[in-house]
Amino acid sequence: MKKKIGFIGLGNMASAMIGGMLKEGLVEPQDIVGNAKTEKSRQKAREKYGIDVLADNTKVAEKADIIVLAVKPQFFDEVIGELKVLGEEAWQKKLLISLAPGKTVAWFQESFGFPVPMIRCMPNTPALVGEGCTGMCASDGVPKEAVEEVKRLTDSFGRTVMVPERLMDVVSAVSGSSPAFVFLFIEAMADGAVAEGMPRAQAYEMAAQAVMGSAKMVLETGMHPGELKDMVCSPGGTTIQGVRALEEKNFRGAAMDAICACVERSKKL
């Protein structure tokens, strides 16, 4: 890739993206420029990745062809005010990537005051270990080649799923928020094992490995999760009793409600 990539914000998600791109050799450190809110964050990025770090968002956008907006929503108005001073003509030659939940393409166009070529991406925290999942949609007029270019970047730290924009709030829930639910499930299973006498370190290791292996079976076999579940449940065995206990506690309903609650919140952001 010959283009220069700018990061507005150098937090966890930006770090996952930068790390993945550099590891896969998609870009060189000199092809990346960024800015963060604090000098501590800027210095950390300089030392860790060897990238060019500035203290001015407008200058980052000026130097970059692709600009990744990776700041918290409460800073959006301030940052967009700094970015839109480049003007419509300059932005027609650039591409904006937003990592923000809830903020639509239409919202960005209104905030800028003119059309901005952009792609919305919603990665999740497993990107930090190269196992992320990114939901992606593009604004009208973004060339297919540009979409594929960005997809190669997001594929460098996991997998990418193209979705229509109307499903981005669902992506935020089922991919962006769900790792927290999985961590909670792992913790709860480990607590149960500890209650039955297993050392905590072993309980965490075994519960986490079971979740990772089970997820891999879903992705690699293409089998329905229910079918895979049935393969573990022998008639009159131990597993079906555990499934029964979860069903009695409305495990499925609670998981569905959690996703729906996240979607509703995302729509209000």
Which residues define the annotated binding site? 8-13, 57, 70-73
Which residues define the annotated binding site for NADPH? 57
Q: Of 265, 73, 68, nearest to 180 (Cα)? A: 265
Q: Are strands 132-138 and 118-122 parallel, antiparallel or unpaired?
A: antiparallel
Which residues define the annotated binding site for NADP(+)? 8-13, 70-73
**Which tokens is 13 given?**
């998600």
The 10 Å Cβ neighbour count of residue 115 is 15
Q: Residue 197 burial by CB count (10 A; 0-12/13-18/19+): exposed, middle or buried?
A: exposed
Residue at token pair 């079906």: 240
Q: How far apart are the first and last CA of the chain?
A: 34
Residue at token pair 């569905």: 256
- CA 246 to CA 242: how far, in whole Å? 6
